[in-house]
Structure formats: C-alpha cells, structure tokens
Amino acid sequence: MWRRVASLSSALESDLMQAATCGAGAWQRAFSSTQVEVEGFERKSHPFVAFVLGGPGSGKGTQCMKIVETFGFTHLSAGDLLRKEIASNSENGSMILDTIKEGKIVPSEVTVRLIQAAMEAGRNDRFLIDGFPRSEENRAAYERVIGAEPDMVLFFDCPENEMVKRVLSRNEGRVDDNMDTVKKRLRVFSELNLPVIEHYSIKGKLRKIDGTGSADEIFERVRSAVFAALREREER
C-alpha cells in the first residue's frame, strides 16, 4: 500500500547516470488555497511516477528539489541507487561493481529492480525518477518490469550553449566539466534520450519545460505542469 511520507527526501545530482504562469504573489495565493486539494487527491493503488529528463546543465537537479519541497514527491536517482547497492556489499551490489569494473553496462532490469524496490520500501505515492530512462532499452525494461508507464515525463529543453555555460560555471571540480567532455555528454544525451522523449510525446505524457531563465522562472512552468498532471490523474 502506498502511503504519504512525512519527511521529504533531498534531491541529488546523479554522476553515474546521466500552463500559463502566474506572478509570484498571485500563484502563492492560488497555491495556498489549492495545496489542500493537492494533498487531498485520492491516493491510487499505484504511485504517481514522473520521469525527469534533460541534458547536463539543463537545471533538472535544481527543479527536482523544488518539486520535492512543493509537492511532496520522493526523489529517486538511478545512479544513487546503484551506488547505495554497491556500498551495501550485497551479492547484487558485488555483481554491479564487477560489471562496472569490466567496462560493461549494468543491465536495465537490474536498475529497474532497484527503482522498484525503492518505491515499494518508501511510504510515499509520488516519485520523481531522475535521469532514467536514458535509452529506449531502459524505457522498455521499466515498463516490462513495473507493468506500467509513467504518469508524466518532464523534459527540460535548454539550448546547448546555455547548458555548456552552466556546467562550466559550476566549478565543482568534476574532471568531466570541460568543453569537450560536456559537448560529448550532450551528444550522447541526444542520441539516447531523444527517442525516449519522442515516444512519450506521441503517448501524450511529455511535458516540455523551457529551461531558460532563472530557477524561479523555470519553476513557475514546472509547477503548472506538475499540478495539471496531478489533477489529470485524480480525474481518471
């Protein structure tokens, strides 16, 4: 049974994985009166799941934090789950570590099973799955194992030059935060993720978010999209 979690998880960036907006005051007044409605949405027998996709520097990590804080989602990162499993020294974690050491890709089903276990172990019924699926093969494995599609796919659409500028300005000491590697990561993202984005666009589940502007400006767009998706789910 999916139950509401009392505390919110923090949003983390993954290193392994790669409606009309209102003014702030107007939205705050509107949201203060409708938040009870969001919290009061009938809980379904299966959770509300949102995939969050976007290239490096698209701002999805920041926006995930804001979604968690505002709507009470639990944030799940496939990369974080893989690292946690490896650190557990379990048989499964050892297999994952050996796979990575051999330069191989961790099977999609393994990652999906970790996501599934995290959702089942949690006491929430709203989940953000950050940076996954990264490919059509990932997507197919998720839907096969879970037996359902996501309720919504948030895609942060941001110009390449803006994403490169953001990554290079982070100054986080990452060895791959340089012009050549960032552009390579963006090419990989386009090749692998865009077919997934196109798939969910055809299915009517994609919410494309303009990723330009300040974090608060972007979140106004995100907030409208998430609220609409929750309302749509409630009305089914």
Q: Per residue in 17-54, pLDDT tens?
A: 333 333 333 333 333 333 333 444 444 568 999 999 99
Distances (CA, A) of 51 to 59, 89, 100, 182: 14, 28, 24, 22
CA 84 to CA 215: how far, in whole Å?
Answer: 29
pLDDT for position 122: 83
Both structure tokens of 188: 């990989």
Please report the pLDDT score of residue 84 as a whole number.
94
Give the residue ranges of the annotated binding site.
Answer: 57-62, 83, 104-106, 131-134, 138, 170, 174, 185, 213
Q: What per-residue confidence (pLDDT) applies to 235?
A: 84
Alpha carbon dihedral 105, 111, 112, 116, in 10-degree steps, equals: 180
For the whole prediction, is pTM greater than 0.95?
Answer: no
Res 209: pLDDT: 97
Give me the half-sphere count of Cα atoms (radius 13 Å) on the Cβ side of residue 96.
Answer: 23
- Give the annotated binding-site residues for a ribonucleoside 5'-phosphate: 83, 104-106, 131-134, 174, 185
Residues flagged as binding site for ATP: 57-62, 170, 213
Q: What is the CATH architecture of 48-77+124-234?
A: 3-Layer(aba) Sandwich (3.40)
Instruction: Tell me the DSSP string of 206-217.
Output: EEEEE--S-HHH
Ranges of residues in the chain with a pLDDT under 50 are 1-43
Using N-to-C axis directions, what is the helix angle for 215-234 and 24-39, rounded to 10°? 30
- Specify the pLDDT at position 22: 36
Short-list 111, 77, 76, 108, CA closest to 93: 111
Domain coordinates in residue numbering, the chain: 48-77+124-234
Query: Which residues fall in the annotated binding site for CMP?
Result: 138
Contact 17, 79 (CB under 8 A): yes
Torsion from C-alpha of 195, 197, 201, 207, nearest 10 degrees? -170
How many residues comprise the chain? 236
Please give the structure tokens belonging to residue 2: 């999916």
- State pLDDT tens for residues 185-209: 899 899 999 999 999 999 999 999 9
Tokens at residue 43, please? 């809980």
Q: In the prediction, which pLDDT does 3 show?
A: 34
